[in-house]
Every structure is written in C-alpha cells, then in structure tokens.
Amino acid sequence: MPESSSPLSVLITGAAGGLGRVIATTFLEKGANVAICDVNKERLAETSDLWSTKYPGKFIAQHADVSSLPEMEAFVQAIVAQFGRLDLLINNAAILDKFESAGTCSLELWDRVLGVNITGAFICSKVAIHQMLAQSPPGGSIINLGSNASVCGTDGGLAYTVSKHGVLALTRNTAAYYLDKGITCTMVQLGGLAHTNIQDSMAHGFDKEGIALINKHMGGFEYGVNDVPLEDVANFCVFLSDKEMAKTMNGAAVPFNRNWPAGH
C-alpha cells in the first residue's frame, strides 16, 4: 500500500469471514482504516472481537445488506463520519447458485443471486462513487471481485454466471465513465478458492447434472494444487490500491486463477 499523509479508508463488503476478512486484515496490517459489512451477525461479532485489541479505532464492522440502498448509504455515512473519506471499495460479497440451468433455475434463486452479486455490487458502487465525487480531494478506486464465470459459460450455474458476467460489464462501464473524474475500476477474475464462505449458499443442495457439466468443461481443479491462496488475493488488492497502478489498470479484468482451467 502506498505511503501517504493519511491512511487509506477501505470498504470491503461481505467481509466478516473467508476471503473478505483476509483482505480486510491485510489492509489493517498495512495501516489502512477498514470498514466491513456483512449480513452474518455472528461472524461480525467474532471478527470485531478478534480485531478490537489489535486494531482499536481502525475498523468498523457493521451489519448491512449490499442489496439495500438505504443500508449502504447509511454505512458509507458512518465510514465518513469516523474516517473522513472513502478511498477504496472492494465489492467482495457474493453467493453461489445451485449450478442449475435456465430450464431448472427458480425465479426465487435467480433473484436472490443477482440481488447480491450484481445489484449489490451496483448499489455499493453507486454509493461509493457519490462519496468519492463529493469528498475533498475527490477520487477513489473500486475493485470488483469477479470470477472465471465472468468470462466462461460453464463455471457455475446460470444465475451465478450471469451475475459474474454482469460484474465485468459493471467494471468496464464504470471505468469508462469515471476515470476523468478521478475514480478507477478494475475486476480481479478469480479462479477456485478454498476456505471461503460462498459455499454457505450450497447448504441446501445443488444440481448434480450441473456439477457434471462444469467438471466436463472446467476439469482439473484440485484443492491444495490450483486453488488461489486468499492471502495472494489480498496482497493483489493492496497492489491495486496504489492510485497510479489503478489508473494504468483501469477497466482491466485481470485473470487471477493459477491458470485454471489451463489456457482459459
């Protein structure tokens, strides 16, 4: 993270556990002020307890739903009240579908997945951009955590795949519209991850036919061999927090997947 007269103020969504918490902890260790939101109250309490002694006054951990515009507006207001500004948004919050196709995916599941993964990313971007334009000096960065499913049709079920394709479109459009106003936007195209909370959404089962299709087209994945270390994702986000790097990489979709699937 670049040296500056004041620490970066970073918002990370869905960060009470898993990848989000690893990213948040890495920024805290680098001296940033960090705000996380999540809908899991137990994990928020656990994370607050974990950080309260080591990082007093350096973090905010608040219950907020990324798909709620009022809740995210209130959360950003709380961040600015404590830290003075917002420099970086990392859109991390996401849920999986059940690996179902257009013919089998329910409207309820479609709405839920898109509500978090793409509408949530849009709402958080919208609120962050308003703050970044209003603050003095204006400007900031947005990092969207995408997926192989952002560019491939068989890395998830329909709802998840559509949502992650949407994250790529959100990234490119935001990058084009706001660079001249001092705001950059980049997507990190993640491969397979271990030890995250996204699998929580699979607790009620998944479509075996869909899993078989994914294994056919996206085979070769093995935990402990080609999964992406969460710490590496966190350190890459810190790298992208450099303003000059963010400008150069504005609009980029960076594969960060240990070349899985090979050549993808």
Secondary structure (DSSP) of 154-210: TSS-HHHHHHHHHHHHHHHHHHHHHGGGTEEEEEEEE--BSS-SGGGGGTT---HHH
Contact call for residues 113 and 159 (beta carbons, < 8 A): yes
What tokens were used for 241? Answer: 């927090």
Phi, psi angle pair for 183, to nearest 5° = -120, 130
Please report whether residue 189 resides in a domain.
Answer: yes
Please report whether residue 233 resides in a domain.
Answer: yes
Whole-angstrom Cα distance, residue 91 to residue 125? 8
| Residues that are catalytic | 164
Long-range contacts of 24-31 (CB under 8 A, 24+ apart): 24/59, 25/51, 25/234, 26/231, 26/234, 26/235, 26/237, 26/238, 27/1, 27/234, 27/237, 27/238, 27/241, 28/54, 28/55, 28/58, 28/59, 30/1, 30/238, 31/1, 31/7
pLDDT of residue 68: 98
Please report whether residue 2 resides in a domain.
Answer: no
Please report whether residue 230 resides in a domain.
Answer: yes
Please report whether residue 232 resides in a domain.
Answer: yes
Please report whether residue 193 resides in a domain.
Answer: yes
Please report whether residue 224 resides in a domain.
Answer: yes
Contact call for residues 116 and 71 (beta carbons, < 8 A): no
Total structural domains within the chain? 1
Our separate counts of H helices and E strands in the chain read 9, 7
Full pLDDT tens readout for the chain, 264 residues: 655 568 999 999 999 999 999 999 999 999 999 999 999 999 999 999 999 999 999 999 999 999 999 999 999 999 999 999 999 999 999 999 999 999 999 999 999 999 999 999 999 999 999 999 999 999 999 999 999 999 998 888 999 999 999 999 999 999 999 999 999 999 999 988 877 766 665 556 666 775 666 666 677 677 777 888 999 999 999 999 999 999 999 999 999 988 877 755
Quote the domain boundaries for residue 50: 9-256
Please report whether residue 196 resides in a domain.
Answer: yes
Strand partners, 253: 187
Whole-angstrom Cα distance, residue 19 to residue 147? 13
CATH number at residue 249: 3.40.50.720
pTM for the model? 0.92
